[in-house]
Structure 1
Amino acid sequence: MENQSTHQLSGSYLPPKSSETLQQSGKDEVIEVSVRLNRKKALPSPAPAGALLSRPDYETQYGADAAAAELVETFAHSHGLTTVDIDLARRTIQLKGTVSEFEAAFNVQLMTNGSYRLLNGAIHIPESLKDIIAGVFGLDNKPIARPMFQVAKKDGKVVSHAAAPQAFTPVELAALYDFPTGVSGKGQCIAIIELGGGFRNKDITQYFNGLSLHAPNVKAISVDNAKNSPGTADGADGEVMLDIEVAGAVAPGAKIAVYFAPNTDKGFLDAITKAIHDTTNKPSVISISWGSAELNWTPQALDNFNESFKTAAALGITICIASGDSGSRDGETDGKVHVDFPASSPYVLACGGTRLTVDNNTLTSEVVWHDADDSASGGGVSDYFALPDYQANAGVPLSISTKFKGRGLPDVAGDADPDTGYKVLVDGQEMVIGGTSAVAPLMAGLIALLNEKTKSPAGFINPKIYANPSICRDITGGDNKTTSAKTGYTAGPGWDACSGLGVLSRLS
């Protein structure tokens, strides 16, 4: 294979937004790379109701082909690379070698800005493997996502539970939203993807004791050598503890598996595929509260993540993802609107944000979350993923930026305003946290309850809720227009790009 022609891997390179001083990456640095393989055959989409695949059946029919994987191995070994792992269900081969060996193998130059590696052009693969390799991840290792949580503060100080009478415990919110009672999520596993931070068991025990609940069974799972690494309350621990405490309080009978991965597109994707294909813990729902605007991702990342979510749909796994905390701009400052990925995938439940008003334990009003400082429910129209069939009659507008007929998000919404946020415990400190980060685990907990109640996985629920939008309580007030984007969206009757179809509490 040494002298054969090469093929440029489509969508493997994203030019940097701005110029920065780069130098050649260290040639002898040892790195690991994930090579994603194509399926044996195309996976039908969406998965027909009542025709879910088991994980073994999926691998047999739609996983990677063993002979194809062997061809990739032969190519890799000819360049001095070694095989760390092959997983045909995940369609992933993990390779290890030096920067110089990977540069030679994939005909690419790796640079560094002093903090992380960057590609200096597209990845190339042998012409003979162009129909086998779907993506190559890990040559660059720049941070790809941010957590979608916001801490409530007053005069620059973190607000305690006692100083936030308008905030809620997840148990109180579940009651206000009329979540199912008489079930606890028993027999379910909620997977949570984390790209930093960690949890302390003593915090979990203390928090759930305070709620008069048994602490859930929480298991940390290492992906790509990342570990449960708790730090300080003002870091990523806030995201980790928020996710565990919200999901666990809503569904205390469910097992919680937390997949810790590096904050790179490789780490993120590896964690997702690990969770989907975990035959030990077998998650029925996955909560993700990390992401960034679509324009920050390579097309190969957008496509490979999306195909993984399509796999989850076929297996009956519900994916709940935060839609973003910066309104219509999604953290970008180019004066345009953007939506967040991976929430923009058509195979996930994108979760937007609201603000509650409660009087005497009764919900009196609920509007789109939007603070004056560009903190607001993420939402809009994808510039990459086409409008899915289930949204054909939802009234999704064309993308403001590109006029593309794209997937609209969010799909549903829930309490996200930090001022009416969630009472949590992080590294021994009482905090009130909001953001759409909280809505993803809230919905994941709800799905676990519904799965136990119906004795079957809810799975890919988007077609069902769009076919029967009355099962959601519509949010018709507010907007997510932001100063930086100079435009955005306004809530109204039916689906909108601020709160989706509204608040979900049932599926029938």
Structure 2
Amino acid sequence: MVNKHPLPGSERTVEAGSKVVGQCDPAERIEVFVMLRRQQQAQFDALMSKIEAGDPSVKPLSREALAQDYGAAPDDVVKVKSFAAAHGLTVLREDPAARTVVLGGTIAQFQTAFGVKLEHYEHHITGQFRGRTGTISVPDDLHGVVQAVLGLDNRPQARPHFRIRPPFQPARGRQVSFTPPQIASLYNFPQGDGSGECVGIIELGGGYNTSDLKAYFGSLGVAEPTVKSVGVDQGSNQPSGDPNGPDGEVTLDIEIVGAIVPGAAIAVYFTPNSDAGFIDAVSRAVHDTANKPSVISISWGGPESNWTSQSVQAFNSVLQSAAALGVTVCAASGDSGSSDGTGGGDQVDFPASSPYVLACGGTHLSASGTSISSEVVWNDGAQGGASGGGVSRAFPVPAWQEGLTVTSSSGSGTALSGRGVPDVAGDASPTTGYTVLIDGTQTVVGGTSAVAPLWAALIARINAAKGQPAGFINAKLYKAAGACNDITQGNNGSFAASVGWDACTGLGSPNGQKVAAAL
């Protein structure tokens, strides 16, 4: 008799607004991603607390050292493989460094193996998906070994954080737009083209057209960067031809990074939009020994409450690996203000709320000539979007945010009770947005999606100039008062800008030269 143990954090309930619409075909084949525990976890935790504190004596691990010391134990991989064999599942890929084993099999086999029932659900916004309720179970010999089982469920997990400028309305006043090099210059970025670096970009759908990139960089007089697409879990570069869809996100990310660091290689990791796909794509980028990105930009996310705790923990452990390797991860904080679009209460967006990423919020930027004349919190009203930000319920206050105060829109200040989001900000309002070329159409785009690649490009310039990665930069940035332009006006709904850090724009927008000096 095999004892089954519920996998902690794997509980799923029926999501509000969704209902069961049918049974899954038991013969349908799917792929499931199993994440294993880390070897020498206690030693790794000790290393992480030094990294989190910004200890200058800690050097980034090589990908080889991380794999050997803190990857999955060979015995644990063997246990998963024998479990797979016992249930007729195929091992499609194993990556001990990333602590992952990808299994293939039929719905019927997976239902038996993990003690779940998979059904088709329909959600009024996200459409149809394969889902489950209750917990996932694992047998005795995998209890404590397996940290997450992802991919049984394929509901859309995240949304892109970009906003295309609506048609011009004279009542709204003058609208302006900037090219990415103009923004880099307004923010005083250090010189350089990022040569020798690789920037990884995560995309959960859509694609780019090489013709767009060629025309766009040509129009800016910028050398065309090397862009390669990396398919993860059946994801690939598939432009839909709709600039308002995910193509807008993909093209925006590549054009901002490429225009600012044309000398850097850009690796775009395409994956399906599910928690399994998202986590696997970031993991593949972090552990990519071919492209070796030194900075990763993520412009997708979803409210913390939409994630299971096993997904949050699995994703966060991948982001910890990035920090240990000296890979900087920049993530958009969301475009729906303090509610993160949930319609009820305050929420922060994940993965931006992970303490191992640089969370990027949004501002509304005005310039005269080559200097900034004013910069306030991006908040274009309910339909127009606003900087995501607030206080995490999933993560405690990190060491580098201890003692900070969060200011509410009513003006009252309270001590931060969890990880504060965002860390930094940059121009994000579509009314002062970025000129880009998507699916052959010149358009102006904003959103915190533009801010993550903007900061990623800044870090790539800094890394290239230093000849070594800046790595996990949060602790250093919070210590270096004045490296960012402090934003003190505006709100994102429940939270207001204030002197110093705030839950709308973090420490502020970059003064690139000062950021470089601080790192």
**Structure 1 and Structure 2 fold alike (TM over 0.5):** yes
Q: Which has the higher helix share?
A: 2
User: Distance in 1 between the 2:480 and 2:147 partners?
Assistant: 36
User: Distance in 1 between the 2:360 and 2:318 partners?
Assistant: 19
1:286-337 CA-partner distances (Å, limit 9, x unpaired)? 0000001000000001101111101000000000000000000101012x00
Question: In structure 2, what is the equivalent of residue 202 of structure 1?
Answer: 211
Question: In structure 2, what is the equivalent of residue 152 of structure 1?
Answer: 165
User: Distance in 2 between the 1:469 and 1:404 partners?
Assistant: 18
The residue type paired with residue 282 of structure 2 is I
Q: For the Cα contact (< 8 Å) 1:37–1:91, is it kept in 2?
A: yes
Question: In structure 2, what is the equivalent of residue 15 of structure 1?
Answer: 13
Alignment of 1:439-478 (within 5 A): 439-478=451-490
Question: In structure 1, what is the equivalent of residue 178 of structure 2?
Answer: 168
Q: Which runs of 5+ in 2 are unaligned?
A: 123-127
The alpha-carbon deviation at position 233 of structure 1 amounts to: 1.4
What secondary structure sits across from 1:469 in the alignment? Answer: coil
User: Distance in 2 between the 1:74 and 1:453 partners?
Assistant: 48
TM-score by length of 1: 0.94
Question: In structure 1, what is the equivalent of residue 112 of structure 2?
Answer: 104
Q: CA RMSD of the aligned region, Å?
A: 1.9
1:51-72 CA-partner distances (Å, limit 9, x unpaired)? 2100000000000011111011
What secondary structure sits across from 2:194 in the alignment? Answer: coil
Alignment of 1:205-216 (within 5 A): 205-216=214-225
Question: In structure 1, what is the equivalent of residue 509 of structure 2?
Answer: 503
The alpha-carbon deviation at position 471 of structure 1 amounts to: 1.1
User: Distance in 1 between the 2:407 and 2:283 partners?
Assistant: 32
Q: For the Cα contact (< 8 Å) 1:381–1:397, is it kept in 2?
A: no
The residue type paired with residue 392 of structure 2 is S
Question: In structure 1, what is the equivalent of residue 36 of structure 2?
Answer: 37
Q: For the Cα contact (< 8 Å) 2:404–2:415, is it kept in 1?
A: no
What secondary structure sits across from 1:153 in the alignment? Answer: coil
The residue type paired with residue 411 of structure 1 is D
User: Distance in 1 between the 2:77 and 2:476 partners?
Assistant: 37
Alignment of 1:34-433 (within 5 A): 34-42=33-41, 43-44=44-45, 45-46=48-49, 47=51, 48-49=55-56, 50-113=58-121, 115-154=128-167, 166-181=176-191, 183-231=192-240, 232-334=242-344, 336-374=345-383, 375-396=385-406, 405-433=417-445
1:421-453 CA-partner distances (Å, limit 9, x unpaired)? 000000110000000000000000000000011
User: Distance in 1 between the 2:174 and 2:505 partners?
Assistant: 24
The residue type paired with residue 102 of structure 1 is F
Q: For the Cα contact (< 8 Å) 1:397–1:405, is it kept in 2?
A: no
The residue type paired with residue 419 of structure 1 is T
What secondary structure sits across from 1:262 in the alignment? Answer: coil
1:171-215 CA-partner distances (Å, limit 9, x unpaired)? 00000000001x110000000000010011111010000010111
The alpha-carbon deviation at position 420 of structure 1 amounts to: 0.2
What secondary structure sits across from 1:321 in the alignment? Answer: strand
Shifted more, 12-21 versus 240-249: the winner is: 12-21
What secondary structure sits across from 2:225 in the alignment? Answer: coil
What secondary structure sits across from 2:496 in the alignment? Answer: coil
User: Distance in 2 between the 1:450 and 1:224 partners?
Assistant: 32
The alpha-carbon deviation at position 397 of structure 1 amounts to: 7.0
The alpha-carbon deviation at position 235 of structure 1 amounts to: 1.1
Shifted more, 21-30 versus 324-333: the winner is: 21-30
The alpha-carbon deviation at position 165 of structure 1 amounts to: 6.1
Cα distance change, pair 397–406 in 1 and its aligned pair in 2 (3 A): farther
The alpha-carbon deviation at position 120 of structure 1 amounts to: 2.3
What secondary structure sits across from 2:330 in the alignment? Answer: strand
What secondary structure sits across from 2:104 in the alignment? Answer: strand
The residue type paired with residue 360 of structure 2 is C
User: Distance in 1 between the 2:474 and 2:30 partners?
Assistant: 39
Cα distance change, pair 404–357 in 1 and its aligned pair in 2 (3 A): closer
What secondary structure sits across from 2:19 in the alignment? Answer: coil
User: Distance in 2 between the 1:262 and 1:433 partners?
Assistant: 23
Cα distance change, pair 368–165 in 1 and its aligned pair in 2 (3 A): closer
What secondary structure sits across from 2:381 in the alignment? Answer: coil
The alpha-carbon deviation at position 22 of structure 1 amounts to: 3.8
The alpha-carbon deviation at position 272 of structure 1 amounts to: 0.4
User: Distance in 1 between the 2:422 and 2:280 partners?
Assistant: 25
1:249-308 CA-partner distances (Å, limit 9, x unpaired)? 111111000000000000001100000000000000000000010000000011011111
Question: In structure 2, what is the equivalent of residue 25 of structure 1?
Answer: 24
1:207-251 CA-partner distances (Å, limit 9, x unpaired)? 000010111000000000111001121211000000000011111
TM-score by length of 2: 0.92
The aligned length equals: 491
User: Distance in 1 between the 2:75 and 2:118 partners?
Assistant: 30
The alpha-carbon deviation at position 153 of structure 1 amounts to: 1.6
User: Distance in 1 between the 2:402 and 2:490 partners?
Assistant: 24
User: Distance in 2 between the 1:270 and 1:397 partners?
Assistant: 36
The residue type paired with residue 191 of structure 1 is G
Q: For the Cα contact (< 8 Å) 2:407–2:495, is it kept in 1?
A: no
Q: For the Cα contact (< 8 Å) 1:80–1:101, is it kept in 2?
A: yes
The residue type paired with residue 105 of structure 2 is G
Question: In structure 1, what is the equivalent of residue 125 of structure 2?
Answer: none
The alpha-carbon deviation at position 164 of structure 1 amounts to: 8.1
Cα distance change, pair 420–322 in 1 and its aligned pair in 2 (3 A): same
The residue type paired with residue 60 of structure 1 is Q
Cα distance change, pair 272–164 in 1 and its aligned pair in 2 (3 A): farther
The residue type paired with residue 188 of structure 1 is E
Q: For the Cα contact (< 8 Å) 1:31–1:99, is it kept in 2?
A: yes
Question: In structure 2, what is the equivalent of residue 485 of structure 1?
Answer: none
Cα distance change, pair 77–502 in 1 and its aligned pair in 2 (3 A): same
The alpha-carbon deviation at position 382 of structure 1 amounts to: 0.2
